[in-house]
Structure 1
Amino acid sequence: MSLTEQQLLELKPDHIVDAIGEVCPHTLNLALDGLRKAKAGEIVVEITDHSIATKTIPAAVKMNKIGEFLGVAKKGGQYHIFVKKS
């Protein structure tokens, strides 16, 4: 699935993970915890100001086969990382 930043920001996530001010690996752990709590098909978005999370979270989701990385949207200096739980 390939969505634009605008399309991502228009999604209604089922779970929002606030990771503002956190750094790796805590941003990754928060995202994985959010995905564990989600049900299959639900969308989890992590909001962070840590740019490295935009690489580690998609890689971990793919490696662990726990969801589908939908994309990243940047808004106001924050990154919104969207994942759909498998």
Structure 2
Amino acid sequence: MELENIKPDIVHDATGTYCPIPITELAKVMKKAEKGQIIELLADDEGAVQDVPAWCETTGNEFLGYKEEDGIYIFYVRKTQD
């Protein structure tokens, strides 16, 4: 799936926060999301580049990829677990 074609259901801005806050914020958003929804997470913490895919692997949610624009990392995650 091309990242440019992804239409997120939920956008969450975690910029200005540092590890572990982007992941804890993602976890909170995931609890509210419905199965199958796509979350777009914005973060400027470079550590999130490794943390988000690792979190997805640990939780069983689907990491769709990320892109970087002007120092902001934009992650896409599909909720696959209830």
TM-score where L is the length of structure 2 = 0.89
- Is 1:32 paired with 2:27? yes
* CA contact 1:31–1:46 (8 Å) conserved in 2: yes
Structure 2: tracts of 5 or more residues without a match: none
Q: 1:78 aligns with which of 38, 50, 72?
A: 72
Residue 14 of structure 1 corresponds to 9
Structure 1: tracts of 5 or more residues without a match: none
Residue 53 of structure 2 corresponds to 58
SS at match of 1:83: strand
* CA contact 1:44–1:84 (8 Å) conserved in 2: yes
Q: How far apart are the structure 2 equivalents of 1:83 and 1:38?
A: 11
Compute the displacement of 1:51 (Å). Answer: 1.1
Task: Tell me how many residue pairs correspond in the alignment.
Answer: 80
Q: How far apart are the structure 1 equivalents of 2:33 and 2:51?
A: 19
Post-superposition, which runs of at least 4 consecutive aligned residues in structure 1 deviate over 3 A?
none
